[in-house]
Structure 1
Amino acid sequence: MATLREIELRLKSVRNIEKITKSMKMIAATKLTKAQRAVNSAKAYGAANAEVFKNSEAALPEEGGKKLYVVISSDKGLCGGIHSSVSKATRAAVKEDKEKDANADVTIMVVGDKSKAQLSRVLPQNLALTFNGVGKDVPTFGDACAIADLILTSGVEFDSVHLVYNKVVSALAFESAIQSVFGEEALKNSPNFKTYEMEDDATKDLAEFALANAVYAVLVEGHAAEINSRRNAMDNASKNAGDMINSLTMKYNRGRQAAITNELVDIITGASGKCQYFLFLSI
């Protein structure tokens, strides 16, 4: 059984942890407001992409094409299952592609060290490129352009790009989603683009800009989901620390009361013994 000193030290440690988790929760709550504003701004980029793809009537390549999955996570932890969520979604998508076609050509690129560590253990043969240092603050369009440029200049061949990310469902929940982006060939072969004589450079620039738009939209959405998840995780950790503090405090008080009771018993027993001794001498 733990001594009073051990319980006291553990109680002090848990109280310090509670202070840290409460501070992290407050920081995450402050950052969340900024992240939500960025999400509202980034929706315009995603809406622009959707409008272009809708009006062009572009379609993804048929099954059998080369697929590129870009997994959006971050380098930081202490945010619940935010990273394992996109990793599981990626593994499920790759497994589905392999079931449809055993020779399916699938490549994976990862933004963030956390999902990189997870996917490198299960799909090392498909991992081609990783990015880190993104997500320390609210992602900018410059970050998205840099990632899109590295994807296009990496030398990896692909017919379609699929962005795997987390989106905020509510204040307490998130879910993984996959957003597909049309490439240059898909735009060239779309019915409405064929109507006009398009220069190759213009179509190529549009495809690159559409990829940067999509990357920016999912980066911001994933960042907001991460901050929201971290706030909830720190809130739960603070509550668990509070419950543990109450339990340890009760255990400490019981042990202290037991020690005091034992001391009183010893004192009373000693006093009783002395009384009996003096009574014997008087007789």
Structure 2
Amino acid sequence: MSTMLAGRTLARAAAQPRALGAAPANTRNMATLREIELRLKSVRNIEKITKSMKMIASTKLAKAQRAMEAGKQYGIANKEVFQHVPSDKPTPNKLFLIISSDKGLCGGIHSSVSKATRRALEDSPLAGASANDSTVDPSSSIMIIGDKSKAQMQRALSGNIQLTFNQIGRDIPTFADAAAVADLITQSGVKFDSVVLVYNKFVSAISYEAAAVEVKGEEALRESDAFKVYENEDDATKDLAEFSLANAIYAALTEGHACEQSARRNAMDNASKNATDMIASLQMQYNRGRQAAITNELVDIITGASAL
């Protein structure tokens, strides 16, 4: 009786459908080999794309570095001017201008400036950004160049964002781009004592770091004792403040663009290396599966011949 019950139980268990994803006992390796072959093909295609993008980024990096060297001259001249016009007036009302781009596939180049800005607003000011104040108002206004950093900052500080710019720096940035941004900032109606530019500083072809430079506004220039000596008219002071802001933005745009191309080249190089390692691993897995399938076929043939 117990033998009959055991037999029925085994029969019912055999009749039950197998677990989801489990292959039948008599399934060959051909389906698995086909999947591996398709994956190998897709990874090889990705490797070709990443290698092509690396070559393009390398070409653009050389042009971006030349533009960066020219743009740095504007930033150097700006710093020399403001070093000789110290202002006793504090600048608590800061406007943060984040400089990134609209393009991705370049590592953490965009999150670098976003994180630096959040740290400045939440904890402490950026190094070199504030000469007169030890703290930064968490409600400071933010303007962003580039859609990538805009998407990151909207999640954390959407209430601080006043103005955003895109389609700037798709190619090598020009002074006209910087002048247009500076003009829109001054006409936006946002009140500020100084503008803090947060951008990526080019360290080498393989590294960069978030940096900041503070540009004084019109009122801060008027309060400068050294600047008062020249007895400039109000219109001249306003024009000088806007021109100095455009200079600083242009220098930051060119340097950020060079960092972006460098980061993209490094990211595509790493992606190509990872694809090469994955291809080698998949090829070995495919060869082993193919050998196992051939061995099973040979065992079946030999077994059938022996039975005859």
Following TM superposition, the consecutive aligned residue runs of length 4 or more in structure 1 with deviations greater than 6 angstroms are: 100-103
Q: 1:145 to 1:205 in 2, by over 3 A?
A: same
* Structure 1: distance between partners of 2:297 and 2:167: 60
Matched, 1:24 2:53: yes
* Structure 2: distance between partners of 1:52 and 1:22: 45
Matched, 1:42 2:76: no
SS in 2 for 1:137: coil
User: Where in structure 2 are the equivalents of 1:181-220 lying within 5 Å?
Assistant: 181-220=215-254
What letter matches 1:201 in structure 2?
D
Q: 1:84 to 1:104 in 2, by over 3 A?
A: closer
User: Where in structure 2 are the equivalents of 1:39-78 lying within 5 Å?
Assistant: 39-58=68-87, 61-62=89-90, 65-78=92-105
What letter matches 2:77 in structure 1?
A
SS in 1 for 2:84: helix
What do residues 202-249 of structure 1 show as CA deviations (whole Å, max 9, x unaligned)?
111111100000000001111110110000000000000000000000
Range that drifts further, 194-203 or 139-148:
194-203
Q: Give the conservation status (yes or no) of the 8 Å contact 1:58–1:182.
A: no
TM-score norm. by structure 2 comes to 0.84
TM-score norm. by structure 1 comes to 0.92
Matched, 1:83 2:83: no
Q: Give the conservation status (yes or no) of the 8 Å contact 1:67–1:105.
A: no
What letter matches 1:150 in structure 2?
L
Aligned residues: 271
Q: Give the conservation status (yes or no) of the 8 Å contact 1:162–1:178.
A: yes
User: Where in structure 2 are the equivalents of 1:235-254 lying within 5 Å?
Assistant: 235-254=269-288
* Structure 2: distance between partners of 1:172 and 1:55: 35
For 1:12, the equivalent position in structure 2 comes to 41
SS in 1 for 2:204: coil
- Flag structure 1 segments of 5+ consecutive residues without an equivalent: 275-283
- Flag structure 2 segments of 5+ consecutive residues without an equivalent: 1-22, 24-30, 126-133
Q: 1:201 to 1:264 in 2, by over 3 A?
A: same
Q: CA deviation at 1:97?
A: 6.0
For 1:146, the equivalent position in structure 2 comes to 180
For 2:295, the equivalent position in structure 1 comes to 261
Matched, 1:223 2:257: yes
Q: Give the conservation status (yes or no) of the 8 Å contact 2:218–2:241.
A: yes
What root-mean-square deviation, in Å, do the aligned CA atoms of Structure 1 and Structure 2 show?
Answer: 1.7
Q: Give the conservation status (yes or no) of the 8 Å contact 2:120–2:136.
A: no
* Structure 2: distance between partners of 1:139 and 1:82: 17
* Structure 2: distance between partners of 1:154 and 1:199: 23
Q: CA deviation at 1:101?
A: 6.6
